[in-house]
């Protein structure tokens, strides 16, 4: 695997960093992700399924060599077609849902009568995301394809269903690789989103995308934490319902802590470099990054934050499903 050896630019100074990132030679994702690491080899062999709405205006765009340009009417513009404004996204939906214990992939569990993956997909579509790779568990690919295929007539985005990996990080890497066909350039925004955050308002998704379009390189939504947070002493753990005494390290100053949400937005260049650099961690969830910003930080880049939204909470437990249902019932989240 090729790992960048030169120190990555910091994003603390956005003006400097923007130019540092955008003037670097554009590394194709093939170079970044189709590398020789075993995790990547495994992912390469997994399937990628294009989906199109019958008769949609995207007919033909999901081809081997899609032309992502549009015709415009003036003489001078015809000579140099304007590029279509693209917003790419990986929708991570390949989780098993073990913690929910429903014996089905979590993203297929319904909230307010619609599977979470469809709610999340509609949110991305409503926010103007143009190309979306949905990661699905390998043993439920057909179910995901059928479900998403049936929703396509109502969507503007081009959607692909791809087989996920052993960890969320591996799934996102697979999704990124499938987006390469849309020929992003170095600064094309790529939003990585969790299907489990199925009530995320399109306005938040749009704000993250706009932050990237306006020059940032890595932007994530965060919220203040309401609980006081204390770390367990090194090497200790508490099992659920455990009354055994476990030592704690001192509290972390709560005023400086933020809870991290998705969608997390990056330029194509930055997210591909980050996944290549962290590829050796993807083999299982114990070593994998729990979010994509963590991989970008490992590159030495600074991640910026915008204000998150309480409706972007992650559905993990039955209690979260009840909360999501109550949010829909009481109008806190739009019933997409
Ligand atoms: O497990 P966790 O709740 O952190 O998962 C966050 C999101 O990542 C979920 O939407 C889940 O479907 C997705 N995921 C994935 N591939 C995995 C594990 C999780 O796409 N191997």
244-279 pLDDT, tens digit each:
999 999 989 999 999 999 999 999 999 999 999 999
152 CB neighbour count, 10 Å cutoff? 19
Which uninterrupted H or E stretch holds 170? helix 168-179
* Cα separation, 294 vs 63, whole angstroms: 33
Q: What is the pLDDT of residue 138?
A: 97
Distance from residue 243's CA to the centre of ligand 1 (Å): 30
Q: What is the pLDDT of residue 5?
A: 33
Block residue for tokens 């540092």: 20
| Peptide bond between residue 263 and the one before it cis (omega within 30 degrees of 0) | yes
User: In terms of Cα–Cα distance, which of 224, 177, 171, 226 is closest to 193?
Assistant: 171
Per-residue pLDDT tens for 103-148? 899 999 999 999 999 999 999 999 999 999 999 999 999 999 999 9
Q: Distance from the CA of 317 to the center of ligand 1, in angstroms?
A: 13
Q: Where are the alpha helices (DSSP H) in 252-303?
A: 268-277, 292-298
Nearest CA to ligand 1 atom 4: 290
| Percent of the chain scoring above 70 in pLDDT | 75
Q: How far apart are CA 113 and CA 299, in angstroms?
A: 41
User: CB within 6 Å of ligand 1 — which residues?
Assistant: 92-95, 106-107, 135, 164-165, 167-168, 171, 194-196, 314, 316
Q: Whose CA is nearest to atom 2 of ligand 1?
A: 95
CA of 121 to the centre of ligand 1 (A): 15
Q: Which residue from 171, 199, 263 has its CB within 8 A of the most atoms of ligand 1, so it is best to mutate?
A: 171
Residue 194 CA, ligand 1 centroid: distance in Å: 7
């Amino acid at each position: 695997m090729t790992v960048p050896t030169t120190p990555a630019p910091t994003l603390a100074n956005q003006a400097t960093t923007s130019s540092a990132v955008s003037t670097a030679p554009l590394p194709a994702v093939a170079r970044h992700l189709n590398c020789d690491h075993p995790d990547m080899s495994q992912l390469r062999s997994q399937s990628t399924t294009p989906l199109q709405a019958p008769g949609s205006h995207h007919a033909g765009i999901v081809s081997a060599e899609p032309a992502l340009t549009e015709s415009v009417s003036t003489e001078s513009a015809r000579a140099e077609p304007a590029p279509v404004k693209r917003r790419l996204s990986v929708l991570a939906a390949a989780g098993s849902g073990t913690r929910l214990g429903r014996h089905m992939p979590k993203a297929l569990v319904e909230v307010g009568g619609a599977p979470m993956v469809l709610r999340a997909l509609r949110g991305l579509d409503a926010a103007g995301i143009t190309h979306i790779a949905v990661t699905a568990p390998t043993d439920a690919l057909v179910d995901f394809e059928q479900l998403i295929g049936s929703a396509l007539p109502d969507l503007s985005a081009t959607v692909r269903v791809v087989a996920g990996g052993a960890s969320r990080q591996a799934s996102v890497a697979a999704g990124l690789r499938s987006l390469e066909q849309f020929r992003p350039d170095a600064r094309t925004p790529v939003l990585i989103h969790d299907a489990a955050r199925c009530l995320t308002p399109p306005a938040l998704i749009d704000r993250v995308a706009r932050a990237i379009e306006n020059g940032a390189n890595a932007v994530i939504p965060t919220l203040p934490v309401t609980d006081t947070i204390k770390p367990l002493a090194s090497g200790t753990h508490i099992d659920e319902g455990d009354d055994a005494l476990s030592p704690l390290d001192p509290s972390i100053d709560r005023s400086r802590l933020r809870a991290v949400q998705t969608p997390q937005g990056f330029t194509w260049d930055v997210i591909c470099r980050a996944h290549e650099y962290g590829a050796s961690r993807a083999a299982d969830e114990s070593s994998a990054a729990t979010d994509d910003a963590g991989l970008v930080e490992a590159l030495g880049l600074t991640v910026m934050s915008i204000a998150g939204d309480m409706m972007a909470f992650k559905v993990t437990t039955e209690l979260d499903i009840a909360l999501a249902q109550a949010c829909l019932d009481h109008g806190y989240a739009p019933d997409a």
